[in-house]
Structure 1
Amino acid sequence: MKLAKALIIRGDLQKKLSDTKNIIQKNSVVHKESNPNIDPNEMIVKANRIIDELDNLMERIHRTNTLAKTSDGRTMLKLLTERDTLRNRHKLLTSTIESTTKTHDSYFGERYHDLENIKVTVPVADLQKQADDISMKMRHLNITIQENNWHIDLLD
């Protein structure tokens, strides 16, 4: 099985587990003269089977990401950590840019209504360019990750 297929199955299992948890919660308490639509005890057993299957699959995915090498010699884990680093840098820049567009009331309270007293202390245009550059790097990295996911076999 290819890594990409395993990732799709992981998503399906996570959704199935979430749905099962919701069913358990909705059927755990009923009126004393009623019965639940679905036996929550049976659903707990089912949820535990899903968790076991997910655990096994996740271990294989992590092992594959740690050991599998891409055509340029990097591991999938390295690509994924690079993507996380880029996301963190992008969030830092975009949140800083967003903070410069807040109204002065959110910073100084209603007593300051004179916009002339507000000063932006960061180079917004430069930060935006950096954020755009990081976005482009993330897109290219995501393409590389996706391509490799369809070529790498999931390890046992």
Structure 2
Amino acid sequence: MKLAEALAERAEATRRVEQLRARVVSSARYQEGETPAEDAAQLLAEAGEALETLESLIRRINRTNAAARIGQDGTLTDALARRDVLRLRHAVVTSAADAAAGTGERGYGRQLRSELMMLSALPVAELRAQADVLAREIREIDVRIQRANWEVDLLD
């Protein structure tokens, strides 16, 4: 099985656990004289099995990510960490540029000459350029990660 297939199975197992949790909660109590819509104990047992499957998949995915090397990025785990930090850095730079530009502020221009003028403390154009470079880096590393996901076999 390829890593990408295991990732898809993990997502499906996660959805299944959440669905079972919701069904257990809705069936956990019922009114006297009524019959519950579903057997909560059976649903809870199914959720336990689904969680065991999910744990096994997560362990195998993590082992594979730690062992698989993808070029200059090191292991898949290293590349994933780099991508996560790039995304956070992009969000910080974009937020800083938006704040410096006054984006999102209501009435950020002066309405009367007697009002104080708001000035930017940061170079907006430079921050936007930096955000563009970060966005490109995120796309590039994401492509390498996706390629590896379809090339790497899942470890036991």
Shorter-chain TM-score bucket reads: 0.7 to 0.9
Question: Could you tell me which amino acid in structure 1 is paired with residue 57 of structure 2?
Answer: L
Alpha-carbon shift at residue 96 of structure 1 (Å)? 1.8
Structure 1 pair 104–73 and aligned structure 2 pair: CA distance change class (3 A): closer
Q: 2: CA distance between counterparts of 1:119 and 1:33?
A: 70
1:59 aligns with 2:51: no
Instruction: Tell me if structure 1 keeps the 8 A contact 2:98–2:104.
Output: yes
Q: 2: CA distance between counterparts of 1:139 and 1:32?
A: 57
- Aligned-pair identity in percent equals 30
Alpha-carbon shift at residue 131 of structure 1 (Å)? 0.9
Q: 2: CA distance between counterparts of 1:136 and 1:73?
A: 16
Instruction: Tell me if structure 2 keeps the 8 A contact 1:104–1:118.
Output: no
Instruction: Tell me if structure 1 keeps the 8 A contact 2:73–2:79.
Output: no
Unaligned runs of 5+ in 1: 107-112
Q: In the alignment, what sits opposite 2:6?
A: 6
Provide the aligned C-alpha RMSD in A.
1.9
Structure 1 pair 140–76 and aligned structure 2 pair: CA distance change class (3 A): same
Count of aligned residue pairs for this structure pair: 149
Q: In the alignment, what sits opposite 2:22?
A: 22
Q: In the alignment, what sits opposite 2:152?
A: 152
1:80-122 superposed Cα distances (whole Å, 9 cap, x missing partner): 011011011011112223333242689xxxxxx93x4322211
Question: Could you tell me which amino acid in structure 2 is paired with residue 69 of structure 1?
Answer: R
1:119-140 superposed Cα distances (whole Å, 9 cap, x missing partner): 2211111111111111111111
Q: In the alignment, what sits opposite 1:87?
A: 87
Q: Please list every run of at least 4 consecutive aligned residues from structure 1 whose deviation after the TM superposition is greater than 6 angstroms.
A: none
Question: Could you tell me which amino acid in structure 1 is paired with residue 33 of structure 2?
Answer: E
Q: In the alignment, what sits opposite 1:103?
A: 105
Alpha-carbon shift at residue 73 of structure 1 (Å)? 6.9
Q: In the alignment, what sits opposite 2:34?
A: 34
Structure 1 pair 155–40 and aligned structure 2 pair: CA distance change class (3 A): same
Q: 2: CA distance between counterparts of 1:11 and 1:137?
A: 26
Alpha-carbon shift at residue 79 of structure 1 (Å)? 0.7
